[in-house]
């Protein structure tokens, strides 16, 4: 074996060793990561300057915090809650409700899927059990910082603004339905007549 290949083997072994050490260190660091509980989530929102406009609980007793975000695009309602096991933080925004006697037209549904692909995060979802369209994002509950949460909320508002033609019930489906849908609760327009 020549000296060059022996050096290459030693360098490869050293690189693998360093990779294993860094992985072990990351696992140990994750064990010490801060995890939000219901109280610390509420404190985090308040420390970010967000006013909790409504607080309610799911049937399972999990608190949901509703905050209002006001910017040049309107006034937005964002809901935040931890999963029951506290492993994820859900951030969601109600967009609209699909009436029982209506279906989302195929071409609108395809455009929503395309928007999900273009935006990557958050996602437009249809919740069958309550027939609502929502934007949803989930964050792994480890070391969630205000800057990350603010970024997710800004992305959510931007996506809602730029995909309004897909879910705004006053305009998006006039050609498909003769009767309008219920009004959107996720957005209150400043210049509404």
pLDDT for 117-146, tens place per residue?
A: 888 789 999 999 999 999 999 999 999 999
Q: Is the pLDDT higher at 191 or at 71?
A: 71
pLDDT at 32: 65
pLDDT at 182: 47
pLDDT at 45: 96
Number of helical (H) and strand (E) elements in the chain, helices listed first: 5, 7
Q: Is the pLDDT higher at 105 or at 94?
A: 94
Structure tokens at 78: 């964002």
pLDDT tier for residue 106 given thresholds of 50, 70 and 90: confident
Residue 82 has pLDDT above 70, yes or no: yes
- Is the previous residue joined to 90 through a cis bond, with omega within 30 degrees of 0? no
pLDDT tier for residue 28 given thresholds of 50, 70 and 90: very low
pLDDT tier for residue 12 given thresholds of 50, 70 and 90: low
Q: Is the pLDDT higher at 11 or at 108?
A: 108
How large is the average pLDDT for residues 85-111? 89
Q: Of the candidates 170, 158, 172, 162, which has an alpha carbon nearest to the alpha carbon of residue 76? A: 158
Q: Of the candidates 73, 78, 88, which has an alpha carbon nearest to the alpha carbon of residue 35? A: 88
Q: Quick one: the chain helix, strand, coil %, rounded to 5? A: 40, 25, 35
pLDDT at 15: 60
How large is the average pLDDT for residues 41-47? 96
pLDDT at 85: 93
């Amino acid at each position: 074996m020549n000296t060059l290949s022996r050096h290459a083997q030693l360098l490869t072994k050293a690189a693998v060793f360093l990779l294993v050490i860094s992985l072990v260190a990351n696992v140990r660091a994750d064990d010490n990561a801060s995890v939000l509980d219901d109280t610390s989530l509420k404190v985090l929102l308040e420390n970010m300057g967000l006013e909790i406009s409504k607080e309610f609980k799911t049937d399972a007793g999990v608190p949901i915090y509703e905050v209002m975000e006001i910017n040049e695009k309107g006034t937005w309602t964002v809901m935040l809650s931890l999963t029951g096991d506290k492993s994820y933080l859900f951030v969601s925004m109600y967009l609209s409700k699909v009436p029982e006697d209506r279906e989302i037209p195929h071409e609108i549904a395809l455009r929503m899927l395309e928007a999900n692909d273009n935006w990557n995060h958050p996602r437009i979802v249809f919740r069958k059990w309550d027939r609502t369209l929502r934007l949803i994002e989930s964050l792994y509950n480890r070391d969630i910082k205000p800057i990350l949460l603010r970024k997710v909320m800004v992305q959510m508002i931007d996506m809602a603004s730029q995909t309004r033609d897909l879910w705004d019930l006053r305009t998006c489906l006039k050609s498909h339905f003769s009767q309008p849908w219920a009004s959107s609760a996720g957005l209150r327009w400043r210049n509404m007549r």
